[in-house]
Structure formats: C-alpha cells, structure tokens
Structure 1
C-alpha cells in the first residue's frame, strides 16, 4: 500500500520514538503534514530534524497528553491553522510493571490517564472536527496484553483493553459521518525501550521472542505500515476493529511441551 497523502494533516501522539516516529516518517514521506507530539524535547527535535532532512513536512509539539485542556487545544489549533484534520493517531503510552499486591493506585491511575483518558480526549476532539468535515480517520494504539493476560501488567492491560472498547463505541457513533475509528493491537515491538529490556535480560527476551509463532518481535516500520493502511482510503470500509499486528501471538493456543 503506497497511497499518497499530499495535502493531508495528521497528529501523532507519542510520535518522537518507536511506532509513533515510524508512522510519522511514513506519512511524511507520502506527502502528509505531520504534527508530532511527545513530552521529551530532545527526541522531538531529533525526529523533527530527521523528517525535515528527508523532505517531509513536520511540526514538533511538546505535550503531556494527560493535560486534557492543552491536548484538546492543540488539536483545535492544528485544525484551525491548516483548515483541516484528516488523521489522528493516539499512540502515547504509560506502563507500570508490578504484581497487583504491590501496584500503587497512583500507577494504576497514571496508566489509565495516558492509555485511556487521553485517548478519550484526543478521539473526542478529533472526531468532532472530522464529523463536521464529513471525513477523517483515527487510529488508537492498544496492546496484545489488552486481549491476553500477562502477569504484573494489570494497569497497562486494563487501560489498553478500555481503549479497544472505547474505540469500537466511537466508531459506531461516527460510522455514518464518513469518519472511521480503529485500533491497532501490537505485540512485542523492537522499540528503544524494548532494546533496553533485551540488554538487561537477554535470556528472558530470547524466550519471549521464541514464544511468538513467527519467532521474533516486530519492528516499528511493520506497525507503521498497518497504521498507515488503516488511515488510508484503502481501508475505507473498515471501522470499529482491533487489528492484531503481533506475529500471530494473540491467535496462539499455548500447549505445554
């Protein structure tokens, strides 16, 4: 799928690294103007410079998506300045690892604030603008842990599961207005944070990869291809779904050897 996005405008949260950056680079390379949002100023600057160096159109915006007023205002500002908002990718994430008995309520709330509350805010603002225009596409990024249980990830898993159901409901409300809303469900992806995990626990990382039917984690570009497809006209009759992109992991029936 190599559709062009010339003249179109996209906002991507968590866009300075990993899946978000790969998606921003892919959309920009295909002609879109991309507004990349993240908290870290240095990574934002690096991503912005890389996209510009490749001839892409990009704006970097430092943003904490848990600041609901600032997030909604940014979306309104982008649509006002460019006269349109065609695509929205809610990719920012928060994760805490701990057994339930040791997980702090503040950590639970933080994961929900980023993975569910901010997705609500971003989808609501973008959805309203797109419905008025009669077109647009929103993709929310979930996780395989939202549909398959993993110990020590209760707050992350529950918040990402909430994202999937919210996405489906939003899609039903927007379906007759020309606006499509879908979720992508990544499995293990070789992002910078995952590489840090590999370096710290290589044996565990190797076992994790071996447990995937395709025997490897995905790379950010593979996830970006799925996201960009969902944003494109090639997916014009797809809405309300949660698409696993996980090397077959979520479809796997585990049988002990």
Structure 2
C-alpha cells in the first residue's frame, strides 16, 4: 500500500460504519491521521479498533452532525490539535422513506440538516483552515437519488441534489485558494442498512438489484477507492466533479418490458 497520505490529516463524518468506515480505513492505510465522527459510541469504538488493528492512526469523536455548532468546533479542534487539515469527507447521512402525503416537515428538515446543512458548515470550517495552507481536498457523498427521481424519498433526494449543487459552488470558490471540492454519487451500496432492508423486503431488494446494469450493489470498499482517488494528488486537476459510482445505474435509460 502506498503511503502518499503520510503526514496528512483527514476527517470523515459518519465514519463508524459502511462507506465512511471503509474510507477512513483506506485513508489511514495510506498513512494519514484520520478522525472519524458518528452518533453511536459502540460503532465508533469498533471502527477505531478495526483501523488501529490495521496499523492506522485514528481518533473518534461522538457527534451528531446535525448539531452544527459542535461540528464546526470539532473541525477547528482537529486542525488546531494537529496543526493542519488536509482532507474532509462529508459522508454522514439521514433519510426518511415516505410518500409526500405522509412526509412531515420535521422529516424534511432532519434530512436537510444532516445531508445539506452539516456539509455546508463543515465545508466552511474546513475551507477556512485549508485556505491558510493554500491547499486541501473535500469530497461530499451524494446519491443517485439526488440526480434521478425516486418515489417516497423526497426529502433525501432534494437534500442530496442540494449537496451536489453546493459542491459545484464550493469548488468554484475554493479553486483560487488551492482547495478542491468534488462529489461521489453512490447508488445501491451493500451496507448494514441495505442488508437489513433486504431481510425485511427480499423481493423488493432483489428487483432493485436486478435493475442495476451490473446486477449487484456496490461494496463500501469500492466507494472508498473512488473517494480516496478524489482526495489524492492523482486527482490534482479535478474539482467541481460529481462522479457516479453506481454500477451504471445513473446512465441507464429505463425501458419497460
């Protein structure tokens, strides 16, 4: 494993499981000091143990990113304690599954608070630190729901669409300061949540998987590879991009049988 992140510091929100954990572990294996945050302490402890067992350097912070004041403070503390902040991955997410007729305004606001508001606050705090160094890389984790309409997911879809456009604006503002901002657009990913849904509704899960051109969901580690590429110097001339990593789903034109 190349150690091209040696000496760098990264923050991964929602880093205790799924895509976030796979990303934090890969960043650490490539030599960086990584800080993960999440709401559930047992998952954070397990994630820290996993990364440390692989020889990585990791810190964990119990935090709900919807508490934007605490989120901004955490980013400032990490930068101050380590003397720098090189990479930020906005991965934490919230979703409510319901038709618009049953979706409440509280549900709508919760999804925006986590998926859009938190990313704005963390990006703003990180850019202030990165601007002083004249470099930095931020990756926001969106969703194919943010570029394709999905029934019963209005608040999640709208908040992820907002995140994508925010990414583009942040990229334009960050470019003169040497800060790159990009987005990864996952489709179905085989996380614990996906497996739980499949166990409850196996027929729906099977149809969803069959509708993906590659006929399978992605692995968290596959998403991590794309995220870390965007963070790395290999993507030094890429900013404002939104890369689908979805087995071809976003490119697919649906034709009824």
Asked if TM exceeds 0.5, the reply is yes
For the 8 Å contact 1:123–1:138, the answer to whether it is kept is yes
Alpha-carbon distance between aligned partners in 1 of 2:160 and 2:197, rounded to the nearest angstrom = 21
Give 1:94's aligned residue.
Answer: 94
| Pairwise CA distance, 1:2 | 4.7
Give 1:137's aligned residue.
Answer: 137
2:58 pairs with 1:58? yes
Alpha-carbon distance between aligned partners in 2 of 1:177 and 1:246, rounded to the nearest angstrom = 31
SS class of match (1:218): coil
**Structure 1: gaps spanning 5 or more residues:** none
Paired residues, what number? 257
Question: 1:160-199 to 2 correspondence within 5 Å?
Answer: 160-199=160-199
Give 1:243's aligned residue.
Answer: 243
Give 1:214's aligned residue.
Answer: 214
**Structure 2: gaps spanning 5 or more residues:** none
| Pairwise CA distance, 1:201 | 1.0
* Superposition TM-score, scaled by structure 2 size: 0.99
* Superposition TM-score, scaled by structure 1 size: 0.99
Alpha-carbon distance between aligned partners in 2 of 1:6 and 1:137, rounded to the nearest angstrom = 15
Deviations 1:18-60 (A, max 9, x none): 0000000001111111000000000000000111111110001
Question: 1:76-155 to 2 correspondence within 5 Å?
Answer: 76-155=76-155
| Pairwise CA distance, 1:212 | 0.4
SS class of match (1:212): coil
Alpha-carbon distance between aligned partners in 2 of 1:249 and 1:171, rounded to the nearest angstrom = 25
SS class of match (1:77): helix
For the 8 Å contact 1:3–1:232, the answer to whether it is kept is no
RMSD of aligned residue pairs (Cα, Å): 0.9
Alpha-carbon distance between aligned partners in 2 of 1:205 and 1:123, rounded to the nearest angstrom = 34
